[in-house]
Amino acid sequence: MDEIEHEKIELIMGLRKQGIRDKRVLSAVERVPREKFIAGTFRKQAYEDHALPIECGQTISQPYIVAYMTEQLQVGERMKVLEVGTGSGYQAAVLARLCRRVYTVERYRTLLNDALKRFEDLRLTNITARVGDGGKGWPEQAPFDRIIVTAAAPSVPQILVDQLKEGGLMVVPVAISGSRGEQKLVRIERTGEGVKREELLPVRFVPLVEGVAKES
């Protein structure tokens, strides 16, 4: 067995130990080569359970958080999922193994182009990705069964709640007001009457920034 396979098995065992139970989620994580989403010197840390830097000052999330958020999202095979914050494309690739189609939005063109190449190399044909302000969702494709936001919002974005189907779930990191950059992961269910809100874990994400990034 090569080194990467060995490290990957260790990572999956670690995720199970930390409480990830959903077999579909564990197998999706196992099937996505995280090293392909990381450039240069950091690549050798691909199977360590922490966040790593990517281009444009952003980060690829920690595998545990990707697995946890994916598990909390309860993604079904026939579902249409929106991701806000494509970044490296890793979370989108994990979701793509679990649902019918992933729509993902990123505000940096550079990151989006890199992610698109990875989706092509890995033949992930059920991901549609575009540059845009994901805080506005993807109105042309709404409503969604599931929405995952991978950057921290100041509060639960109502525009995104409005793009959820009834019975749909959204997982979103929200900044705790008055704190020094602390955030909590929130799960929203859109019901017939309004929304149900549940607080999950303390987390640390890069901020959700309005508008498309200007790049030189």
Residues in touch with ligand SAH (CB under 6 A): 58-61, 84-85, 87-88, 90-91, 105-108, 111, 133-135, 150-151, 206, 208-210
State which residue, 58 or 163, has the beta carbon closest to ligand SAH: 58
Report the chain's terminal Cα–Cα distance, integer Å. Answer: 44
CB of 74 to ligand SAH, least distance (A): 18
3-state secondary structure 88-157: CCHHHHHHHCCCCEEEEEECCHHHHHHHHHHHHHCCCCCEEEEECCHHHCCHHHCCEEEEEECCEECCCC
Q: Is residue 188 within 8 Å of residue 197, measured between CB atoms?
A: yes
The nearer residue to ligand SAH, 65 or 169, going by C-beta atoms, is: 65
* Beta pairing class for 127-131 and 101-106: parallel
Rounded Cα distance, 180 and 130, in Å:
32
Residue 1 C-beta: closest distance to ligand SAH, Å = 26
> Taking Cα atoms as reference points, which of 150, 167, 146 lies closest to residue 75?
146
CA distances for 54 relative to 4, 26, 91, 148, 209, angstroms? 20, 24, 14, 20, 17
Establish whether 61 is a catalytic residue: yes
d(CA 195, CA 163): 13
What minimum distance in Å lies between the beta carbon of 45 and ligand SAH? 14
- For ligand SAH, the closer of residues 158 and 192 by Cβ is 158
Q: Which of 61, 88, 179, 216 is catalytic?
A: 61
Taking the complex as a whole, the smallest distance from the CB of residue 61 to ligand SAH amounts, in Å, to 5
Cα distances from 44 to residues 25, 40, 119, 186, in angstroms, run 23, 8, 21, 32
Pick 58 or 72: Cβ nearer ligand SAH: 58
Q: Closest approach of Cβ 59 to ligand SAH, in Å?
A: 5
Residue 59 or 74: which CB sits closer to ligand SAH?
59
Active site residues: 61
